[in-house]
Every structure is written in structure tokens, then in C-alpha cells.
């Protein structure tokens, strides 16, 4: 079974994001880049499907500038068989729809039976690309997946996600798209063997023209970025326990209106 995993390179979760000289973008100087954590669940799941079935191919795909190669390389180190890098200045400033269109075009070429992604990238938290991709391809799609099982002959996938008070289960005919939620699995660390082996694997550069796409104006534009307002300081309630509890209840009720 051929599986394609769409991943995004994002700033490390520990990054203190600063707004750049252009107030519509962040300052990328000194940032450590990683594979978005939800996408790592998707990569791990794809590798597990392949291992369980004893055959198949896992292809990692990402859109972005040159530095994205590093993210693809770490997917290869985890065990993906090859990678495709959608790398073209035409995609600078691509919005979610332009990204989805590029991915859809690659997916049509590659014709995988299953596409996996994270439920959202942790940089801008849009969570839109996967849904747009499904729409463009006309494929079924399930989000926030925490469990999946493909039937023996590879015709359908059963996917489940957690709901408040229960589990929601879907059967999707393949090809289909699943977006991974935390809890789907525990992503493996790339082993030294994997890291050393990764350089022998292919990362294919793909330009917009290779997919028959032309640069399109983005439909979504960023007006500006602002840091969230600083959090007001916490309040320590003094006094013996009975009075403090009374005061706490009053404050929650009247000041915070939380209860």
C-alpha cells in the first residue's frame, strides 16, 4: 500500500516567537525548525501501517523553502521511503488553499491509497489544509483520528476519534485522508541507522510548473501580527482556610464570573 504523509516544518515549540521587521511575519532568525508534532503522529502511523502489512511505500511531502529539506530528512530518518519537496518561489506566501492545491496535484500524480496529515500545524493552528485537500480530491476525510485500522484487502479504513463521553467511529472507503490527533501513537525517535540511511533516500524537488500550476494570488492575506496582551498577575488569597475559601468562592463567582 502506498501512503503519502503531508507534513509542515514549524518553529520548535520552545521558540519565543518575535514579530519581524515586517509586522506581518515573524522574525525567523535563530529559530530551530521541527516537523509539526501532529504531523509526526501521521508519519509514525504511516510507518506502522506499512510495517503491519509487511509491504508498501511511505512518501513524505512538504511545501516550503529550502530549509524544509531538513524536516523531510528527519521523516526519512524515521523510516519514510522517499520525499517530495514542493519548493518554488511561486509558493512564497501560499495560503492554505494554494498549499492544498499543490498537494492535490502531487497526490494525483502519486496516486496513494491513503493520505495522512496532522490535525493542524502548530504554527498558525489553521487546521484547514487537510479538509481543503479532501474537497479538491473528492476523497473522504476524517479529522482528530486517534485509532485506525485498514481491512485486510486494503479497501476501507475504520477510524475513530474521541468525543465528549464516547468514541466516534467512521468507515471510509480508500483512498481516503486521515488527520492525526495526539494519542494516535507514540512517534519513534529516528535511530542512528535511520539518520545515516536517510541520505541515500531521494528528496525530489517539484516546481509549480511540474504540476501544471501557475502562481495564484493568495485569497487570504495577513494584515498584521500582534503579541497577545500580557497576562495580568495572579492573586494570592491570604488568611486562614475557612476565610480564604469563602473569599475564593466569592472571587470566582463575582470577579471572574467562573462559577
Partner 1 sequence: MYKADLRAIRFTLYEHLKVQRLFELETYAHLSREECDAIIDQCFRFATEVTGPLNASGDRTGCRLADGRVSTPPGFKEAWKKLFELGLMSFTIPVKAGGFGGPHAIGVILAELQSGANTAFNMYPGLTHGAADLLEHCALPEDQQRFLPPMLDGRFAGTMCLTEPHAGSDVGATRTRARHLEGNVYALSGTKCFISSGDHDLSENIVHLVLARIEGAPAGTKGLSLFIVPKIWVNEDGSLGAPNDVATASIEHKLGIKASATAVLNFGENGRCRGILVGGRPHEGMRQMFRMMNGARIAVGVQGIAVASAAYLNALAYARERLQGSSVRHFKDPTAPRVPIIEHADIRRMLLEMKAKVEGMRTLAVKLALHADLAAALAATDEGQAAYHEGQVDLLTPVVKAYCADQAFRICEMAIQIYGGAGYVQDHPVEQYLRDAKIFSIYEGTNHIQALDLVARKLQSRGGENLTAFLKEIGGFVAEHGARPGLAAEVRALGEAAAALQRAAGALLEFFMGGKLDQVTMVANAFLEIVAEVTIAHLLLEAAVVAGAGHGAADDEHGQEEFDFARGKAMAAKHFVNYVLPGVHTKVSAITGGDRSALDIPDGGFSTAR
Number of neighbours of residue 214 by Cβ within 10 angstroms = 8
Binding of residue 74 to partner 1 (CB under 8 A): yes
Q: Does 29 bind partner 1 (CB under 8 A)?
A: yes
Cα distance between residue 3 and residue 175, in whole Å: 10
Span from 58-66, 95-103, 123-131, 190-198 in contact with partner 1 (CB under 8 A): 190-198
In terms of Cβ atoms closer than 10 Å to its own Cβ (0-12, 13-18, 19+), residue 259 is exposed
- In terms of CB distance, is 231 or 257 closer to partner 1? 231
Binding positions for partner 1, 151-170, rule CB under 8 A: none
Nearest distance, CB of residue 64 and partner 1, angstroms? 18
Integer Cα distance of 148 and 161 in angstroms: 9
How many residues bind partner 1, per CB under 8 A?
15
Residue 195 in the binding site for partner 1 (CB under 8 A) = yes
Degrees (nearest 5) of the Cα angle 162, 164, 167?
Answer: 35
Query: Is position 199 an interface residue for partner 1 (rule: CB under 8 A)?
Result: yes
Name the minimum Å distance from CB 246 to partner 1.
Answer: 31
To the nearest whole angstrom, how small is the minimum distance from the Cβ of residue 33 to partner 1? 11
CA 115 vs. chain centroid, Å, equals 12
By CB under 8 A, name the one of 42, 46, 58, 77 that touches partner 1: 77
Distance CA 83, CA 67 (A): 14
Q: Which of 42, 60, 71, 73 binds partner 1 (CB under 8 A)?
A: 73
Cα–Cα distance, 22 to 223 (Å, whole number) = 11
| CA separation for the pair 34, 122 (Å, rounded) | 10
C-alpha grid cell, residue 232: 495580568
In the set 13, 92, 191, 243, which binds partner 1 (CB under 8 A)? Answer: 191
For residue 73, give the 3-state DSSP assignment.
helix
Q: Is 236 in the site for partner 1 (CB under 8 A)?
A: no
Give contact residues for partner 1 (rule: CB under 8 A): 29-30, 70, 73-74, 77, 189-193, 195-196, 198-199
Amino acid at each position: 500500500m502506498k501512503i503519502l504523509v503531508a507534513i509542515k516544518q514549524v518553529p520548535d515549540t520552545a521558540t519565543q516567537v518575535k514579530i519581524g521587521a515586517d509586522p506581518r511575519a515573524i522574525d525567523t532568525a535563530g529559530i530551530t525548525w521541527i516537523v509539526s508534532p501532529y504531523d509526526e503522529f501521521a508519519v509514525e502511523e504511516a510507518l506502522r501501517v506499512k510495517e503491519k502489512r509487511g509491504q508498501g511505500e511511505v512518501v513524505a511531502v512538504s511545501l516550503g523553502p529550502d530549509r524544509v529539506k531538513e524536516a523531510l530528512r528527519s521523516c526519512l530518518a524515521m523510516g519514510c521511503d522517499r520525499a517530495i519537496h514542493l519548493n518554488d518561489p511561486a509558493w512564497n506566501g501560499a495560503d492554505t488553499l494554494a498549499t492544498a492545491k499543490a498537494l492535490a496535484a502531487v497526490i494525483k500524480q502519486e496516486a496513494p491509497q491513503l493520505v495522512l496529515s496532522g490535525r493542524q500545524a502548530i504554527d498558525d493552528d489553521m487546521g484547514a489544509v487537510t479538509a481543503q485537500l479532501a474537497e479538491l480530491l473528492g476523497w473522504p476525510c476524517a479529522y482528530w483520528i486517534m485509532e485506525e485500522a485498514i481491512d485486510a484487502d486494503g479497501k476501507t479504513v475504520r477510524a475513530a476519534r474521541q468525543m465528549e463521553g464516547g468514541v466516534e467511529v467512521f468507515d471510509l472507503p480508500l483512498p481516503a485522508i486521515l488527520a492525526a490527533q495526539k494519542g494516535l501513537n507514540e512517534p519513534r525517535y529516528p535511530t542512528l541507522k535511520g539518520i545515516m540511511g536517510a541520505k541515500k533516500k531521494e528528496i525530489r524537488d517539484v516546481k509549480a510548473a511540474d504540476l501544471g500550476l501557475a502562481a495564484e494570488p493568495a485569497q487570504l492575506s495577513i494584515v498584521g501580527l500582534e503579541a497577545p496582551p500580557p497576562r495580568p498577575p495572579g492573586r494570592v488569597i491570604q488568611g486562614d482556610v475557612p476565610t480564604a475559601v469563602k473569599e475564593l468562592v466569592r472571587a470566582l463567582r463575582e470577579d471572574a464570573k467562573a462559577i
